Structure 1
Amino acid sequence: MLFSARFKAILECSGIEILLTAYRAPNMNAFAERFVRSINSECLSQIVFVRQASLDRAIAEYVAHYHDERSHQGIGNEIVSGTAPQRVGEIEVSERLGGLLNYYHRRAALWPRSSIRTLRAWSGVSRTCRFPGLRPYNRNSIDGSPGI
């Protein structure tokens, strides 16, 4: 058996069902292999963990970002959660894990315009910074000025 009895008990206690696949055949579970590669390169290899709790928090933050906030190139750079993108409102950048993971979204158009920065780093909630009047970068501009 690949796993020790203790590790197997931890997985089963967490509600994870162990399925055996062929030895050295990563294509049998390509989705899991891709997720492991992504979390290792984008998160776990970038942080030094001193406690189990900080590792657990980083994994939880990354999973939330992976499923709900990142744009997916395979579906036209749309968000994986399937929510319709807003077309009006100020552009905001939100961060997770102290700025290691960033994503951009539009603030609801009905909210008052302000330059308030809400900082909630390491509290389990993403950090949000609002930039009023920020427009998308104009690729056609020679000097890189904001787009229309």
Structure 2
Amino acid sequence: MIVSLLYKATRKLLSLPSLLLRGDAAKDAELLVLRHENAVLRRQLASPVRYEPVDRFWFAALSGLIPRCRWREVFPITPGTLLGLHRRFVAAKWDYSARRRTGRPPTATALKSLVLRLAGENPRWGHRRIQGELARLGHRIAASTVWEILHAAGIDPAPRRSGPTWREFLTAQAEGIIAADFFHIDTALGRRLYALAFLEHDTRRLRITGVTAHPTREWTVQQARNLAADLGIRMESLRFLLRDRDGKYGAAFDAVFEAEELDVIKSAPRAPRMNAHCERVIGSFRREVLDHILVMGEAHARQVLAAYQRHHNEHRPHQARNQLPPDAQKQPTAIDSGAHKLLHTRILGGLINEYRYAA
């Protein structure tokens, strides 16, 4: 549209001198000289002249001021060429093919990334299942497009994809496992105490149910009952109890968990690695506390164990939970360390230090 208006304005401006100066002999002579010079130059050129779009524009605009019978003498191009240029100009003006796109619109990059993410996190989902999940999220995309995205990324159909990794498999299994183990504490006077610890594999939450110098089967059964009462509805999500073959356990101990529909799994004799999670927690408790403190008696042992259990569940980071403590549900938000005061809490007389920013 702008080119058309510019072309019409140029034609109007060029028509004014022809009306005002038509009888000027000097102008006619100058035109004859320029025409003759143009003829001489064209005879000397071995190859055809190539004109730029600006040159063609001016030729087309000046053609309206000269009679058609004299075009051959004036213009270095033929009338057919000039008319062809004009036809192309008009065709380009009314050509809308470049303004519209044929076929389906391209898929957004963010949507492609979402398709690949769903396929990676759900190896058993096919392209139609992924398309259904995208539809639930509000993304309108054809199942064939999802298949093309997966095929271009080299992801095989769901039955032929690689299965879950060991980490994914064990994490899924850990949600239903709780482990039990005994460990001993030697007091300052040489008396040996026994504590019963339970550890949830999924959350790494530690529960130390009691301390005694005489861990009989009846005492152990009571600790199992106390644990079942403390867990409450959480017992419904557990499926297995893992323990060793210590004689302090018995059929009554197993019956408490079997009544809650848990299967009791016994580790092999002299195979502590089969209960590695409990062994690791007990080892951490020894290295961080018991190796650096003298326990005076049962009351003191209960105090120490309660303090460490609170620290373990509420503050201590765990690699298996992305450096989160068992009771934490999400990562803490980042704050400006210079704008908040750092608080220091001493646990068990400074054996363990906890740090947090003041609110």
TM-score range, shorter chain: 0.5 to 0.7
**Higher share of residues assigned helix:** 2
1:56, 1:93 → 2: CA distance? 24
Equivalent residue, structure 1, for 2:269 = 23
Contact 1:95 1:101 in 2 (8 A): yes
How many Å apart are 1:39 and its aligned residue?
A: 1.1
How many Å apart are 1:45 and its aligned residue?
A: 2.0
Equivalent residue, structure 1, for 2:219 = 10
1:75, 1:6 → 2: CA distance? 33
Equivalent residue, structure 2, for 1:61 = 307
Bigger relative CO (Cα 8 Å, ≥ 6 apart): 1
1:56, 1:27 → 2: CA distance? 27
How many Å apart are 1:86 and its aligned residue?
A: 4.4
If you compute each CA radius of gyration, which structure gives the higher value, 1 or 2?
Answer: 2
How many Å apart are 1:58 and its aligned residue?
A: 0.2
How many Å apart are 1:79 and its aligned residue?
A: 3.0
Matched, 1:85 2:336: no
The share of aligned pairs that are identical, in percent, is 27
Aligned length: 104
Give 1:1-148 correspondences, 5 Å limit.
6-15=215-224, 17=253, 20-83=266-329, 84-88=331-335, 89-108=340-359
Contact 2:312 2:325 in 1 (8 A): no
Equivalent residue, structure 2, for 1:129 = none
Greater mean deviation of Cα atoms: 88-97 or 72-81: 72-81
1:41, 1:9 → 2: CA distance? 31
Query: Could you say what secondary structure the match of 1:70 adopts?
Result: coil
Greater mean deviation of Cα atoms: 79-88 or 49-58: 79-88
How many Å apart are 1:37 and its aligned residue?
A: 0.8
How many Å apart are 1:100 and its aligned residue?
A: 0.7
1:26, 1:11 → 2: CA distance? 20
Q: Which runs of 5+ in 1 are unaligned?
A: 109-148
How many Å apart are 1:67 and its aligned residue?
A: 1.1
The Cα RMSD (Å) is 2.3
How many Å apart are 1:6 and its aligned residue?
A: 4.8
1:6, 1:60 → 2: CA distance? 19
